[in-house]
Amino acid sequence: MSKKVVVLGLDGFNPELVDRWRDELPNLSSMMNEGMYGDLCSTVPPITPQAWTCALSGVNPGKYGFWNFGYRDEFVYGEPKLINSKEVKVDTLYDILPRYGRKVAIINVPVTYPPIEIPNGYCISCFLTPSIESQFTHPASLREEVEALVGEYIIDASTSDSNYRTMDKDRVLKRIYDMDEQRFTLMKHFIKEKNCDYLFTVIMGTDRMPHLFYRYFDEKHVYYDPDPRYKDALKNHYKYVDKNIGEIRELLDDNTVFIVHSDHSVQRLDGRINLNEWLIEEGYMKVNTYPDKLTPLRNCDIDWSQTKAWATGYTGQIYLNMRHREPQGVIEPRDYHKVLDELTEKMKAITGPNGEKLNTQVFRRTEIHPGPRSRFGPDLFMNFDECRWNISELIGYGRGVLYSHETTLGPDDGGHGQYGFFAMAGPGIPGLGKLQNLDLRDIAPTVLSIMGIEVPEDMEGNVLVKKSENGAYSEEDEDEIKKRLANLGYLG
């Protein structure tokens, strides 16, 4: 009998916080003790759309071309197109599994709007759904079942007229729990009633909570606030998730493997580097008229004929303005790597506001994102101080003002970190404990292997378990797996 797989995605779930609170997370701790777990390397940049797509496809973003919530598929300035499910140009698990007759359901997985039309399967789309008036399920009739179970579906913590970052704390706290409760209710219902071979549900509250409440427990936070009302808000939410993990495991039969993982972490955010302001100050960007208020790059009056580079994104992405590539390119192709070398050196030299050294990583697109859509992506990616500093692409802070803490969206306590959480347990999963060097690309091939399906050659990740001919995992298998993973550097 082929095994089934249930996956609980926890957006932004932080392995450091799991370690910190592990004694109060008995169900997660049980999974970690019984099976395997570890820190899961995310995409560069570690942003929700491309990270979850990576986990579903087993390939890097160069294959599907997402670098943020926007993308470009031609050489234009900025990222004018908003991603949606129709732009996922690679095979994912929800494409592959139905070809083998497997029944698939996905709930609230990012980049699934418009809802995916899964043959003989189900889809409840994600927070990219425009409004509750939109069709957000496949089949369409599933909407009635959803609303009968949970009432009016909550698309996200934000409402139609309020960004969740600016909402009253108690109001948004209740809304996050209500939202997550709907997802857990639906997930449990699908386990009990739908008999799916593969079920994948993503919880977004684990991302929204640290963006709002990190300052209340982390004394190192630049805006640390010991307000007793919210000191344990984030920990209590982790405990709430853990309780639901226990309830989900009780519903699983002896033929189902359970995977819990995140797409990245959300960690303490120390501030933002105003990267386009820096590019202006350093002479890489020229504005015709400097704005008198904070203005998005797309609305600024840029003199592209005298601009060498511009910045976008969340953690930091730089595009070069190349001759024969961009419409008004100025950098000669022969100087491409020379300019990247120069920018890399300068990026690594940027310090914090008090002159403190930042542990900054700089990546070149050509080195980390091979694939047919890579050529439209940013030329350079930065993780400032391991992503504890994000960037702002806004212009108008004041000439030479390099640091900021708030955007036009309001305050933000947390930023995305490079490493998410992973745990897997269930029938046939060896008790390997903590693994090293795990990657989001490992998820899809591992799921296929568990389900007895051949892994496509173009998947880039590693299978984390080896299946024997009779479908079981013997002690000999486990010993061999440990040796193999140790040789690969995966087993700590």
Residue 492 pLDDT > 60, yes or no? no
Give the rounded percent of residues in the chain with a pLDDT score beyond 90: 86
Contact between residue 176 and residue 209 where contact means Cβ atoms under 8 Å apart: yes
Rounded to 5 degrees, φ, ψ at 238 are -60, -40
Contact between residue 347 and residue 382 where contact means Cβ atoms under 8 Å apart: yes
What is the predicted pLDDT for the residue at 471?
41
Contact between residue 60 and residue 369 where contact means Cβ atoms under 8 Å apart: yes
Asked if the peptide bond before residue 139 counts as cis, ω within 30 degrees of 0, the response is: yes
What whole-number distance in Å separates Cα of residue 122 and Cα of residue 136? 11
Band of pLDDT at residue 481, cut at 50, 70 and 90: low
User: Checking phi first, is residue 309 left (phi over 0); if not, alpha (psi -120 to 50) or beta?
Assistant: beta
Query: Does domain 4-268+417-478 match CATH 3.40.50.450?
Result: no
What whole-number distance in Å separates Cα of residue 67 and Cα of residue 45? 7
Contact between residue 465 and residue 67 where contact means Cβ atoms under 8 Å apart: no
Query: Which is nearest to 192 in space by CA: 136, 155, 149?
Result: 149
What whole-number distance in Å separates Cα of residue 489 and Cα of residue 253? 33
Band of pLDDT at residue 478, cut at 50, 70 and 90: low
What is the predicted pLDDT for the residue at 406?
74
What is the predicted pLDDT for the residue at 468?
40
Q: Tell me the CA end-to-end span of the chain in Å, nearest whole number.
A: 32
CB neighbours of 162 closer than 8 A, spacing ≥ 6?
Answer: none
Per-residue tokens: 13: 């779930």
What whole-number distance in Å separates Cα of residue 350 and Cα of residue 272? 12
Strands 198-203 and 104-107: parallel
- Average pLDDT (195-209) is 97
Residues of the chain with CATH 3.40.720.10: 4-268+417-478
What whole-number distance in Å separates Cα of residue 26 and Cα of residue 134? 39
What is the predicted pLDDT for the residue at 454?
95
CB atoms < 10 A from the CB of 362, how many? 18
What is the predicted pLDDT for the residue at 477?
54
What whole-number distance in Å separates Cα of residue 3 and Cα of residue 383? 39
What whole-number distance in Å separates Cα of residue 242 and Cα of residue 421? 13
